[in-house]
Structure 1
Amino acid sequence: MRNTNTGAVLEAMILPALARGGYDCAMQVLVGERCGGGVHKVDAVATKDGAVVLVSLKWQQSKGTAEQKVPFEVMCLADAVRAQHAARAYLVLGGDGWTLRDYFTSGRLGDHLVHAGLVRVVTLEAFVRLANNAQL
């Protein structure tokens, strides 16, 4: 049986960091449509000093399909930024089951996806540090 509670756990891990950094936060926010259709809901929208930041969370604790979803999520987040739903976006990778984590966080998706530069892919630890220090 698959554990589907990991998303809620990951959300609970970022909320204190966002609060400490002075961000107002809303969870599970609709930000338009995904590439190709369908609703696009992000895990969090953080706001500070009028700047809006979209946050999508992906958890991979063992080998699985989350890695295959990363490029599409980057595309959808970039579209949301381009549609002016936010100033920037983060895709946060949590868990230790990622085999491509270093590749995704290196920024090299930009070699393949034209608007990937609008989305920063980071580890959970890096996101917590950035949020704690109000540097999103």
Structure 2
Amino acid sequence: MSPGGKGTKTGAFWEQVIKPVLEIHYSGLFQTHVPVGNQLFGATYYADFVVQDDTGGIIVSAKWQQVRGTAEQKLLYEIASLISIIRNSDKYRKAYVVLGGTGFSRGARSFLLHNKHLEVLADGYLVEVISLEDFLARANRGEL
């Protein structure tokens, strides 16, 4: 979708679902829409959230897919970009991609939530794909 279209609006909504738990458990320790480095093709990557704790920065990318489409295929590029950003910075130790929405195909959702990117991307452990429920549970326990 083009900027300002339906995709952008649903993405902004998804961020607003995640933000309250960060405000409760990481108040003063997170920022929104932070430039954290460059994507693989050179464009600046803006993280939806960056959480700073005692062990370093955590990048959080909120990914919502409301309807079927090719956006799910772009997630491996996103994961690879996040790996590269973390490798090339001493500021960040981990990234989460938080999935939501019913538009992901069954195969893509399974691949992503089972973190199968670990099998195909070097240093894949630096990025974890996680459901909203799991992300909220970890944040509630202070275990990001």
TM-score, normalising length from structure 2?
0.87
Match in the other structure for 2:42: 37
After superposition, where does 1:76-95 map in structure 2 within 5 Å? 76-83=81-88, 84-95=90-101
Aligned residue type for 1:35: L
Q: Check the 8 A contact 1:42/1:55 in 2, yes or no.
A: yes
Match in the other structure for 1:120: 128
Match in the other structure for 1:133: 141
Using CA pairs under 8 Å that are at least 6 residues apart, name the structure with larger relative contact order, 1 or 2: 1
Q: Check the 8 A contact 1:58/1:66 in 2, yes or no.
A: no
After superposition, where does 1:43-82 map in structure 2 within 5 Å? 43-49=48-54, 51-82=56-87
Unpaired runs of 5+ residues, structure 2, are none
Q: 1:51 Cα shift?
A: 2.4
Q: 1:115 Cα shift?
A: 2.0
The DSSP-based 3-state class of the residue aligned with 1:135 is coil
Unpaired runs of 5+ residues, structure 1, are none
- Distance of 2:131 and 2:55 partners within structure 1: 25
Aligned residue type for 1:96: T
Q: Check the 8 A contact 1:58/1:91 in 2, yes or no.
A: yes
- Distance of 2:91 and 2:109 partners within structure 1: 27
* Structure 1 or 2: more helix by fraction: 2
Q: Check the 8 A contact 2:56/2:91 in 1, yes or no.
A: no
TM-score, normalising length from structure 1?
0.91
Q: Check the 8 A contact 2:26/2:51 in 1, yes or no.
A: no
1:97 equivalenced with 2:103 (yes/no)? yes
How big is the alpha-carbon RMSD for the aligned residues of Structure 1 and Structure 2? Answer: 1.6
What is the aligned length? 136
Q: Identity across aligned pairs (percent)?
A: 36
The DSSP-based 3-state class of the residue aligned with 1:87 is strand
Q: 1:64 Cα shift?
A: 1.2
The DSSP-based 3-state class of the residue aligned with 1:41 is strand
Q: 1:50 Cα shift?
A: 5.0
